[in-house]
Amino acid sequence: MDALAQEVLISSAEVTSARELEEKARALLREAEALRKREREEKILEIVEIMKAWDITSDEIAKIATKRKTRFRAKGEPRFRDPVTGKTWTGMGRQPEWLKAALQSGRSIDEFRIAD
């Protein structure tokens, strides 16, 4: 058992008041925060080394990190179409009656999905 785990296992004899226990908890939180900070710094150094090895600039990282990836089509573009009437639905808001009726009759919503 490491020192931190031993410190956490505090017997009731060692704690004489709630205030003492709260102070020990605060000390553990400070220690955990310091450890997290050291680990974070180590990871940053690892990342910098990888960036150097691959000749990656921080501008390239920023460009990729800020690039917004959308899973769906632009708002307003139809994603579902009724093959009989040609009516469409974007997938937003209430389901149209033609789709509700089809789904209630046992059809799958994927049958109406417009292919990308």
Structure tokens at 28: 């553990």
Token pair of 6, please? Answer: 């031993």
* Full residue range of the structural domain in which residue 105 is found: 80-112
HSE-up (13 A, CA, CB side) for residue 14: 10
73 pLDDT higher than 70: no
Q: What is the pLDDT of residue 115?
A: 84
Q: Give how far Cα 12 sits from Cα of 2, 18, 22, Å.
A: 20, 11, 14
> Residue 96 corresponds to which amino acid?
P
Q: Domain check: are 20 and 61 in the same one?
A: yes
Q: State whether residue 56 is helix, strand or coil.
A: coil
Q: What is the pLDDT of residue 69?
A: 66
Q: Enter the pTM of the model.
A: 0.43
Q: Is residue 8 part of a domain?
A: no
pLDDT, one tens digit per residue, over 15-39 is: 678 888 999 999 999 999 999 999 9
Whether residue 96 sits in one domain with residue 61:
no
Q: How many domains does the chain have?
A: 2
The pLDDT of residue 10 is 55
The answer to which of 2-6, 10-14, 21-25, 60-64 has the lowest mean pLDDT is: 10-14
